[in-house]
Structure formats: structure tokens, C-alpha cells
Chain A
Amino acid sequence: MKFRCERDVIVDALGIAGRAVSGRGGMPGLSGVRAQLVGDSLTLTGSDLDLTISITVTVAGDEDGVAVMPARLTTDIVKAVQAGAVSFEAEDESLTISAGRGEFSIRLISGDEFPSLSEVGADSVSLPSEQLAEALKQVVGAASSDESRPILTGVLLSAEADGLRLAATDSFRLAMRDVTGVSLLAEGQSVLIPSRALGELNRILGQGDKVELSLGERDASFVVGDVRLVTRLIEGDFPNVAGLIPASHTNRLTVNRGDFMDALRRVKLLARESTPIRLEIVDGKIDLVAVTQDVGTARESVEATYDGSDLTVAFNPDFLMEGVDVAGGDEVTLHTIDELKPAVLRGMEGDSFLYLIMPVRVS
């Protein structure tokens, strides 16, 4: 394999494919990026078996071939060389990278040690990248990072009457977003996609206006421009999250999203060591309060409209702020029942997004 390309092209491509390269030990092949040159088309692929990312770029090809390059070392070298043309030549077990006056010869990883990658079903549907990016931003953060409960580390994609529903929960909160007009799944069908893969997908959605989705039995594939991301699906039953949403609420708080977020940030300074932020509503006056023993107290009143009874309800500040952050729009509404039942946060732009959050018990 022999080719030449601009340094920045290969740095960007390695940066994208390298996101899927395994940081863990185990199979040596997983620490590599597979490079395949056909004519002037170079495809770089990284994989940790759960997630695979491939990108195809145009280079000046000289000799077709395949090589598995050590991902980190190759990336470090091409990032360090002078801007301009970089030449790659793989022969037998070594790769020579030449740029400017520098020449680096590194050992390749055996091609046999790179996993063979599965093909995903050919039928695909197309979605505007921007629409999916917005939905992913709203939902992915609510998934759990606790690997001991793998079901909760995924985002559920399920078919709804008028489109697609994305839902994620870590058992403390639930984020749910409906994307109308997308028929990816048959009625009643759902798939559970690792949130890590969707987080990576969100990073590459800027590579194209549209994203092509295809689903296999065990994998899902997303193609954006010249980048293809394949992820395994999580097997198992996702909790019945729709049943968690209260049918009605008695109290409704509407507040400017930016102002509310700023106030939460300030009050959170005194919400240390898992201390919640309290929302104290008395006679229509709304205060955010944080008290950390031996540290201090923060209190800030919030300009908002409130329809309901006096109430003190407390939330984990990070969970609440994340919900407010991703809700979108100028205003958010917080619907509560009492200090212990789940509250619902929504943006004001329609009902397509919902963020359910459990209060923290306070005395």
C-alpha cells in the first residue's frame, strides 16, 4: 500500500476512525486502525468490537493494499510532522511515513488480528442530520454510565404512530424526544442503541446534511457523508418508561430558560457533596436554595410565573441543569405534583421533548 495526502486530511480521518479504537488491552488488532487503499480512495477503520467507525477520504494513491497501523502512534506522528504532503508506504510488516525531512518507520499490526466486521442490513432510511443531532443532544445524556446495568446505558429507539421516539434513563431521570415523520421501525418495533455510539454519532453528524440509518438484527449502521458508524445493539428489555410519566400535574412553573440556568449555576456553588438545590415556592415567591453544612448557604429568587400551591421540592442540581440545558427554547416549564413525585420539565416549543426527574428527599 502506498499513497500520499495532505497532513490535515489524514489527521482528521485518523481522529474520526480512532474514536472507536479500543483503549483497553486484549486483542492487539483493536489498538490499530485498518487502512485500505483502492485507487485514490483510502478507508480508515477503527473498532473496539462494540463500535466501528470508518471514514473514506481521497488521497493520491500509488499502490493498492491493506495495512493495520498502530492508531495512537500513527496519529501522534502525523500530527507532529510539518503541514503539507505526507507519504505512506506499507511493506511487509512496517509502515514508512515521510513528511518534509522526516521519515518514520513503524511496525504494523498483523492484519489477521483486526476483527472482521459485519455488514448491516441494506434497507436504510434517511434523516436530516440536524434533526437527529438535536434529538440526540436532548436524550443521550440521560443514559446511565453504569456498565453493571447495560440496558440503561442505551437509548431506546421505538416506533410511534407519527414517527420515532428516543428515550434514555439512568433511573433517576428520563429524557424522551419524539421525532415526527421518521418511519425507521415497524409498528411496535424498538431497538436499544448504546449511548456511547450515539454520542460518537453526534460528533460526526456535521460531516453531512443527511444520515442514513440501517438496522440489522444485532447491529445498527449510520452513514453520514463519508463516515460510517456501526454499533452493536443492546439486547434486553428496556423499562416501560411511558408508564412512569404522571398523567397530570397540579403545579406549573414557567421560567426564562437562560435566567433559570444562570441562577442554578450560581446557587450550585453552595450545593456540594451531593447537596440538592431546593425550589422554595411560598406565596408566589420562588427561591432557589442550597445549603451545605459547614460550607454555607446560597439563596436566589427567580422571576417566574407559577400556577399551583406552595411547595418545597429539591433536585440533584446536575440532573436539573442538564434538563434545562437541553430543553431548548426561551422558556421551560416545570410541572410538579408534590415534593416526592416525579416532576416533568418541558421546553415551550411543542411537546416533542420531555424530561422526567425524581426529586431528592429533604427534611
Chain B
Amino acid sequence: MRLVIAECTVDYDGRLTAHLPRALRLIMVKADGCVAIHSDGGAYKPLNWMTAPNRLVIHPAGTEVDGEKQAEDQWMVISPKDETLTITIHEIHSDTQHDLGDDPSLQKDGVEAHLQELLAVDPEQLEPGMSLIRREFPTEIGPVDLLCRDADNQVIAIEIKRRGEIDGVEQLTRYLDFLNRNSDLAPVRGMFVAQEIRPQAKTLASDREIDWVEIDYDELRGIERPQQKLF
């Protein structure tokens, strides 16, 4: 990861043209080739960026580009579709490079991961007759939390969240789309599982014929609640 704080001007030329006038900015050049230009604000979205794969060509000041002698350093990021991001460096304030190594990827929070673990051990907590095929079953767009079979031998894709929001239903819908393309598994039905599911997420899930189940984390962990039950 190369981090450059520099006075720069940025021009994008591709599907449209865009110009960032001269200002002090952070230029991130990631190991995979992604280049992002950030200002000092906003949580995550760069002012302009070019995703990998691409080519970064640095023309130092004094070299000729298209017959013109460059007065200042010029970085050109070129995509396979010939889109270009031209960064003209007026003054570098800081230029550092770090090897971040392999990323362990996003970890689910403790409760979510534990719920997955508990339900993998005993999927019948969700539905009688359910058995586990595999945890973190891989699909082209990411792993689905649990892949199980129901009492009728139908495959069920289960997405587990701590809080059930619409996003989670959308995510499961995408997994189901991919899983149902696999003739060895199809038809695959979906089950959305969370400690608490928002009404909109329930409605969306029902509308897409995805079952939803709210589960009691304490009960799964075998913790006795003060309020006893009749049955």
C-alpha cells in the first residue's frame, strides 16, 4: 500500500470526463493496482478512483508525453477499456509504503459467528428434521452461512444475522439465485435467521418465499432465562 499526500490535480477521461482542481489530497495505490484519491472528509468513498486491473505509468517532470514536455510529475492510471485517470503531482508532502500482507477478511461479530456455530451443531433448532450439509458453503459471490437438508431432503440455504434487516434478505436472495443454478442442489429454498428480524425484512422474505426464524441466543446457549415457560 503506497500512501501519498500531495498537492495534485486529477482528470478522469472515460465514460465521462471529470476534473478535480488543485488541492491537497491522499492518493492510495493498493497492492492489487487499485488507485483512489481521497479528500479529508467522508467515511469511505474516494473523490475519484480506478479499480484493478489497470496500469499505472509515472511520467517524471521533464519527460515528453504526446509531444509535450511535462512540467510536473504525471501519473497515468489506464484501465483495459482505455479509461484514464491522470494525476498531476504539484508537490509531495508525504510518500510512504507499507506491506499490509494478506487480509484475513471481514470477521462476523462474536454473536453472529457463535449463532452459526450453535445452529450448525443442532440445525433442528430451526426446523425438525433438518440436517447440516456444510457450514460456509461457497458460492461464486461468497459463502452462505449454512447449507442444510430438510426432512424432505430439500436443500436449504440459511443466512444468519444478529439483527435481521432487508440487506440480509437481499444477500440470501443472491445466494439462492446462484445456488439454484446448480442442478445438483436445486431447488434450494432459503431461510433467514436472526435474533430479531425487522418487520420490513419479514415482509420481503415472505414475499420472496424465504422462511424466516427468530431465535433465542440464550436458549441456544442453554442459559436459563428468569422468566420460565409453561412448555
Measuring CB to CB, which residues of chain A are less than 8 angstroms from any residue of chain B? 24-26, 146-148, 169, 171-174, 239, 244, 274, 276, 316, 340, 342, 356, 358-362
| In the complex, chain B residues whose CB is within 8 Å of the CB of A361 | 224-228
Given the complex, which residues of B lie within 8 Å of A340, measured CB to CB?
228
> How far, in Å, is B87 (CB) from chain A's closest CB?
47
Interface assignment of B83: CB less than 8 Å from any CB of chain A: no
Is there contact, CB below 8 Å, between A244 and B231? yes
**A172 engages B227 (CB within 8 Å):** yes
Q: Which of B34-42, B69-77, B165-173, B206-214 contacts A (4 or more CB under 8 A)?
A: B206-214
Evaluate whether A146 and B230 lie within 8 angstroms (CB atoms) in the complex, with A25-B203, A26-B207, A361-B224 already known: no
Does B231 lie within 8 Å of A172, measured CB to CB? no
Note all chain A residues with C-beta closer than 8 A to B228: 172, 340, 358-361
| Residues of B contacting A24 in the complex (Cβ-Cβ under 8 angstroms) | 203
Other than the given A148-B214, A316-B227, A361-B224, 13 more pairs (CB < 8 A) read A25-B203, A146-B214, A171-B229, A171-B230, A172-B230, A244-B231, A274-B227, A356-B230, A358-B228, A358-B230, A359-B228, A360-B227, A361-B226
- Could you tell me which residues of chain B, from 200 to 220, have a CB within 8 Å of some CB in chain A? 202-203, 207, 212-214
Contact A244 B227 (CB under 8 A): no
Q: In residues 107-137 of chain B, which contact A (Cβ within 8 Å)?
A: none
Return A241 CB to nearest CB of chain B, in Å. 8
- Of B207, B224, B228, B230, most buried by chain A (CB within 10 Å of CB) is B230
Residue pair A173, B230 in contact (C-beta under 8 Å): yes
> How far, in angstroms, from A172 to B231 measured CA to CA in the complex?
8
List the A side residues contacting B230 at CB < 8 Å: 169, 171-174, 244, 342, 356, 358
Contact of B226 among A25, A147, A174, A360 (CB under 8 A): A360
Bound Cα distance from A169 to B228, whole angstroms: 14
Of all chain A residues, the one with the shortest Cβ separation from B197 is A148
CA distance A206 to B207 in the complex (A): 36
Q: Which residue of A lies closest to B202 (CB)?
A: A147
Q: Is the CB of A358 within 8 A of B227?
A: yes
Which residues on the B side are within 8 Å of A358 (C-beta)? 227-230
Q: Nearest 9 pairs between A and B by C-beta?
A: A358-B228, A361-B226, A171-B229, A360-B226, A148-B214, A360-B227, A244-B230, A358-B230, A239-B231
Chain A CB within 10 Å — which of B202, B213, B214, B228 has the most? B228
Nearest Cβ distance between residue B123 and chain A, in whole angstroms?
16
Measured CB to CB, the nearest residue on chain A to B227 is A360
